[in-house]
Structure 1
Amino acid sequence: MRLIPIAYLASYLLSLLGNSIAGVALPLIVLQVTGSALGAGAVAAATAVPAVFAGLLMGVVIDRINRRTSSVVTDLVSAAAVAALPLVDMLSGLSLGWFVLFGIIGSLGDVPGMTARDALLPAIVRHGGIASERLLGIREALGAVALLLGPAAAGTLMVLFEGSTVLWITAATSLVAALLTLLIPRRVGDITAAEGEPAATGNGWAQLRLGWRVLFRSRFLIVTTGLSVASAIVLASLQGLILPVYFTLVEQPGMLGFVLSALAGGMLVGGTVYAIAGARGRRRGWFLAGVFGSALGFVLIAALSSVWIVLAGAFVVGVASGLFASLMGVLMIERIREQMRGRIMGTQNAILTAAPPIGILTAAVLTEYAGVNVAAIALVGVGLVALALSVLARSLRNLEPEPAEAGTGGAAVIHSA
């Protein structure tokens, strides 16, 4: 494998690992400093809204500057925001206000950083001499590795180091991720329009509206985005509320960690399988494997019949998610115009960022008034309906790559059918 994809994948892993460690360590540090669960919730809420808006608005910037540069800058913003917390702690001591302030600043790099990396993918395929199926499969497998290692690393670091000192390490992962991205030649990040494709014109707001118009007029993008959002809502509701309540009721709260490990292990298997064999066979088959695997896993979990069946369901969902996410990544490379990737994928990532809180809140209301079993069945039912609709959708029947049209220079074009 060439340097370009290796640098990209290593940077992706470190950035995701840092976020995974911070996601566990930061709420614990807030609790240690403030002594208030409400304070930890306030930090989470204060950072969620800016992250969504940053994802929506920064897509225009990502479509106007070098994609490698935008990826490096967003990692540096994340690193600086995290590193500022232990620095302030050393100088004057931390308070809730500092956590909120730097949480907001850090959120401005999170979703745009994710979008910048996604937008860079086609160039990595072109310049890196690697098949998109292999690249996306490896990327999903590495994401599972970060999900497996992050919580364990956070717990270990919280034992070894005191308070905010742990955050120096999470900031270092973002910094090293930025440095690894710099190993990718700058020319790889240049935005190259297909031959005959008009150059971007108009102010930022006009360009943003154009991206939204393209996104919401494409049946393919509407269906795939909707399916991803439904899956995110179901998974978040299961992980964030339904399963913690269930394991508490059966007096086995420690099993929640094993469920998350089973999910990540399944994702690792699914991503690896797709990296090895994803270019073989018809894509519709891979799509159906992901859809029906997700449906089976969700049903096993929603039954809440035994701990072991829940674990098996989580592993099946993980395998299916690894296959589905890898395939969707390949399709996004092929079917979104180069000049609109930042705006379209930024909007998608912003919507996906907002989905988990919606799932957890819905699960909380249903659990409170109808019970955890009803909440599990209702939310998984929503996911099953979304999966069924995706199987019937005309825009997802033909997923094979299309030959480049004359005069397009090989660029993929979004279709509305």
Structure 2
Amino acid sequence: MTAPLWRNREFNLLWTGQALSELGDGVALLAMPLLVLALTGSPVAAGLVGTAAGVARLLCRLPVGVVVDRVNRRRAMIVSDLIRLGAFAGVGAAILLDRVTLPIIVALAVVDAICGSLFGTAEHAALRSIVPVAQLPLAMARNEARSHGTSLAAPPLGGFLFSLAHFLPFLGNAISYLASLIGILLIRKPLQSRAGREEGEGGYAAAIGEGLRFVLTNPFLRAVVIISAPLNFALTGVTFAIVVTLQRNGTAPAVIGVAGTLVAAGGLLGAVVAPVFQRRLSLAALGRLICWAATLLLGVSALLTSSIAAAVPLALVVFLGPACNAALFGHQAAITPDRLQGRVLSVMFLVSNSAAALAPVLVGVMVSSWSGAAAIAVCTGTVGISALVATFGSGLSTVPAPVEDAREEDHQQPVASWQGRDGQP
């Protein structure tokens, strides 16, 4: 009999360490542009930091997938934490000594983005080695709750620490990486199977090609990518459109902040109840539900752009997100061979998030040229593409069975399949 997830020592160590690390990340994410504004007074310079981090994250996504499959994942995570710990501690010291400059902050943002992509991909890939396949969707749901909870708590904490002393958010993030590092070191089980370790035959292009082929030739994974790209674009675009439109209408910044809190709270609540959705709905039903609900609710947001009420329908969509993400990516982890986990995740993240990265620019143009309501309406139309694919495509309904990796003596936990309510594996 499989033990409850809350008694899984390795998962709890990883989860707790990453909860602290993500809280530190959120604190630093707020502090970086504030520090640049304090140094330069330039919004453009502050935006440069975020842009540099985004570009670095995008460029390293595929290489990171190869690294995660070809090196020891535990070591990759440890090295990533050590580098970020040193980088944030160093910048904190530079602030104390009044030696910090814009290039230093940009370099910090780039290093953080690259190491964060490496650690995040390795963590996601390692779940299959420490969590039984039957519990992967629940583990993903708890990770979703962690992310939404820290995103809700980090901004006010970051603002408070920055107001006390500019170096405190950076020192706090360095300490959070130390907590993450300790958690990884305490995990006893290997974070990848010996049989699944990619030995590195062939070059980088061949390795990436194998990951691409696995995603594109698998009907389920292909459907997830096609559905998630327009959906992520729409959610990012609508969030940006609401903020810009409220600001143009003269809404107080504190009120705009309430809108953001509503959305974050919707995600946190959705992560808490995600296991209920997973027990009662199949993968296909969850995918169709969020797509059609988003199409309807985002359309309602387009009618409410004059007030923060526009954030309420968006919060309801975000409420459904954790259950869908946990179920779909939990099954992705189950059906992907261990040796391909990093590359498959990198391909899926790259395709799914690239469209979202373009959303603020495109939506900004639409808001300036037309209106916030028109921009949200266009975003709603893109979600309709996801809804049609989820409904009439066969990918979500053709759910492959989990793959069993040979685990030898380093993996003693059983590998069991799990089923949705409709009996699909």
Report the TM-score, using the length of structure 1 for normalisation: 0.88
Partner of 2:122: 116
- Within 2, Cα distance between the matches of 1:304 and 1:104? 37
Residue aligning to 1:415 = none
1:233 is aligned to 2:233: yes
Q: Is the 8 A contact 1:7 1:184 kept in 2?
A: yes
Q: How far does residue 234 in structure 1 lie from its aligned partner after superposition?
A: 1.7
Structure 1 residue 169 and structure 2 residue 172: aligned?
Answer: yes
Rounded to whole Å, the distance in 2 between the matches of 1:179 and 1:360 is 37
Aligned residue pairs total 405
Q: Cα–Cα, structure 1 residues 297 and 215, in superposed 2: closer, same or farther, change >3 Å?
A: same
Map of 1:191 onto structure 2: 193
The DSSP-based 3-state class of the residue aligned with 1:188 is coil
Structure-2 residue corresponding to 1:402:
401
8 Å contact 2:227–2:387 — kept in the other structure? yes
Find the counterpart in structure 2 of residue 69 from structure 1. Answer: 75
Query: Once the two structures are superposed, what CA deviation does each residue of 1:299-346 show, in whole Å capped at 9, x if it has no partner?
Result: 222222563642321321121112111112212112222111111212
Aligned residue for 2:159? 155
1:362–1:4 distance in 2 versus 1, CA, 3 Å: same
Q: How much has 1:385 moved relative to structure 2?
A: 2.1
Query: Does the C-alpha gap of structure 1 residues 287 and 348 become closer, same or farther in structure 2, counting only changes over 3 Å?
Result: closer
How many angstroms apart in 2 are the aligned matches of 1:207 and 1:406?
Answer: 19
Matches within 5 A, 1:2-81: 2-81=8-87
Report the AA paired with residue 182 of structure 1: L
Displacement of 1:349: 2.7
How far is 1:269 from its partner? Answer: 2.1
Q: Which amino acid aligns with 1:27?
A: P
Q: CA deviation at 1:277?
A: 5.6
Aligned-pair distance for 1:148? 0.7
Written as runs of structure 1 = structure 2, the 5 A alignment for 1:80-99 is 80-91=86-97, 93-99=99-105
1:378 equivalent in alignment to 2:378: yes
Matched, 1:333 2:333: yes
Distance 1:20 1:355 in 2: 23
User: Is the 8 Å Cα contact of residues 140 and 329 (structure 2) preserved in structure 1?
Assistant: yes
1:35 counterpart letter in structure 2? G
Q: Counterparts of 1:319 and 1:37 in 2: how far apart (Å)?
A: 32
Quick one: which amino acid aligns to residue 118 of structure 1?
Answer: H
Alpha-carbon distance in 1 for matches of 2:341, 2:143 = 18
The separation in 1 between residues aligned to 2:66 and 2:123, in whole angstroms, is 15
- Structure 1 contact 270–322 (Cα < 8 Å) conserved: yes
Give a deviation string over 1:230-264, Cα, whole Å, max 9, x none: 22222222223443323541534433222222222
Letter in 1 for 2:160: T
Aligned-pair Cα RMSD in Å? 2.8
User: What pairs up with 1:194-343 in 2 under 5 angstroms?
Assistant: 201-249=201-249, 251-276=251-276, 278-304=278-304, 307=307, 309-343=309-343
* Distance verdict in 2 for CA 1:198–1:122, change over 3 Å: closer
Shift of 1:67: 2.1
Question: 1:80 & 1:88 partners in 2: Cα distance?
Answer: 12
Q: Which runs of 5+ in 2 are unaligned?
A: 1-6, 408-413, 418-425
Which whole-Å CA distance do the structure 1 matches of 2:200 and 2:102 have between them? Answer: 42
- Structure 1: which amino acid aligns with 2:149? V
**Cα distance in 1 for residues equivalent to 2:355 and 2:225:** 11
| Identical pairs, percent | 21
Deviation, 1:198, is: 9.0
Contact kept, 8 Å, 1:135 with 1:275, in 2: the verdict is no
Distance in 2, matches of 1:80 and 1:41, equals 24
**Distance in 2, Cα, partners of 1:12 & 1:39:** 30
